[in-house]
A and B are shown apart, each in its own frame.
Chain A
Amino acid sequence: MWNWFHRLASPRDFFRIAGYWIPWLGSLALLLIIAGLYLGLFVAPPDYQQGESYRIIFIHVPSAWMSLFVYIVMAISGAIGLIWRIKLAHVMSICSAPIGASFTFLALATGSLWGKPMWGAWWVWDARLTSELLLLFLYLGVIALYHAFEERRTAERAAAVLAIVGAVNIPIIHYSVEWWNTLHQGPTVSKLDAPSIDANMLIPLLLMSLAFMIFYKALLLFRARYEILHRQQRSQWVTQYIKTL
C-alpha cells in the first residue's frame, strides 16, 4: 500500500492516474448536478414562508460548505508540503486556492441574490456574511502572496504558512463576528437526528453537496495536472507526452 502511495506522490504517475480519473469524476459530478437541480427546482415543494426563492440554497449552501472544506484541504496539504517536503502537496494546496475563492464568491453572490427579496437588502453586516467575506480575503491573500514571489519554492512555502495561520484564525474570526452581530438564519441541516427541513428539500441539497464535492475533486486534479506539466516542462517525460498529443 505504501508503495502505491509513494508512486502517487511522484508527479509523473500522478499525472497519469489523475488523467484517468478526471473524466469519471467530471461526468459523475455532471450527473449529480443535473439530478440535484431537477429534484431541487421541480420536485421539491415551495417553502411555506419563503416561496420559490428559497431554491437558491441548492447552490448557496453547498458552495458555502465547499468554501470552508477547500480552505481546510488547502491548509492541511500546505502543512504536509511544509513538514514532509512533498512537492505534490504544495501543488494541491496552490491549486485549491482559486477554486476555494470561487466557491466563496459563489456563496456570497447567491446569498446576496437571496438576501434582496428576503431581508430587503443585498448585503447586511451579519456574522456569517462577514466571516464568509473575510474567508474570501484570506483566499485572495494566499493567492496574492503566492504570485508575489519569483522563486516558486519560496512562494509555495510562504503561501502554505499563510494558509495555516489563516486556518488557526478562521474559528476565532467566525466566533468573534458571531458574537458581534447576527441576522442569518440558524443551521437547519446539521442537526442530524431531526433536521428541521423536509426530506424533499434535503435530498436535492445533499445531492448537490456531493456533486460540488466531486466537481471540486475533478477540477483540482485538472488544475494540478496543468501545474505539474508547467513545473516539469524541462523533464523528459513531459517532452515525450507533448509529442504524443
Chain B
Amino acid sequence: MFATIFKRELMLVYRRRSEWVHPLAFFVIVVSLFPLGLTPGPQTLKLIAPGIIWVSALLASLLSLEHLFRSDYEDGALEQFVLLPYPLAAVGLAKVLAHWCVTGLSLCIASPMLGIALNLPSDSLKVLMLSLLLGTFSLSLIGAIGAALTVGLGRGGVLIALLILPLYVPVLIFGAGAVDLSAHGLDASGQLYFLAALLILALTLAPFAIAAAIKVSLE
C-alpha cells in the first residue's frame, strides 16, 4: 500500500513539472540575488554562503509545500485516503517522501553549483549536500503539518510560513552550522549527527501530526 501511494505521488509530482521546477528555480535565483545585494569580496562571500544557501533552500522547500495536499483536497482524493483501511499517518509519510524525492533532492543536487558560485571550499560541498539531504527531508516533514492544517483555507500562502518557519529553526541552525564549520576546515560530523537525529525525530512524530491535521481539515 505504501509503495502504491508512493508511486502514484511520484508520478503526479513528475507530471506537474512546475511543482518542482518552480521551487528549484526560486532557490537558484534567491541565492544569486544575495551577492548582487551585498557586493561582497570572495572572503565575505565564503562567510555568508552557508546561511544564504540554507535560508534559500528553506524558503524554496516552504514554497513547494503549498501544493502538497491542495490538489488531493480539491479532487476529493484526500477524503478517500482517510477512508482507507490503512493508517493515515503512513499515507501522509508516503506523500511527503515522494514529494521530497523530487523537490528536496533537486535542491540537494543543485546546491554544489551554488556553493562553488559563493566561493565555498570544495571540501565543504560534500557537507553542504549531506546537510541538505538530511535537512530538507526534516523540513518537508515538519512543513507538511502546516500544509495539512491550512489545506482547507483558500489562501494558505503567508499563513503557512508564519506557522512553520519558527519550527524550522533547529534544522536551519544545525544545517548552516555544519556547512559553516566545514568551510572553516573544521569537522562537521557533530552537526550532521544532530541533523540526522532531528530527521529521525521528525520521521517518528510528524506523520501522526500530519494525520491529525488532515482529519481536522476535512471536518
Contact = CB atoms under 8 A, between A and B. Distances in A.
Contacts of B150: 145, 148
Nearest to A181: B173
Contacts of B145: 161-162, 165
Nearest to B158: A144
Interface in B168-219: 169-170, 173-174, 177, 194, 198, 201, 205, 209, 212-213, 216-217, 219
Name the residue among A153, A164, A173 with the largest chain B CB count within 10 angstroms. A173
A164 B166 CA distance: 14
A184 to B, nearest CB: 17
Interface in A28-83: 82
A97 B80 CA distance: 34
Q: How large is the interface on B (under 10, 10 to 19, 20 to 34, 35 or more residues)?
A: 20 to 34
B165 interface: yes
B153 interface: yes
Contacts of B153: 148-149
A172 B198 contact: yes
Interface string A136-163: 0110110011001101011001100110
Nearest to B201: A172
A164 B167 CA distance: 12
Interface string B132-163: 00000000000001100110110000010011
A149 B154 CA distance: 10
A172 B213 CA distance: 21
Contacts of A162: 145-146, 149, 163
Interface residues of A, number: 28
A20 interface: no
A137 B166 contact: yes
B163 A154 contact: no
Given A158-B149, A161-B213, A172-B198, A138 B166 contact: yes
Contacts of A148: 150, 153, 159
Interface of B: 145-146, 149-150, 152-153, 159, 162-163, 165-167, 169-170, 173-174, 177, 194, 198, 201, 205, 209, 212-213, 216-217, 219
Interface of A: 82, 134, 137-138, 140-141, 144-145, 148-149, 151, 153-154, 157-158, 161-162, 164-166, 168-169, 172-173, 176-177, 179-180
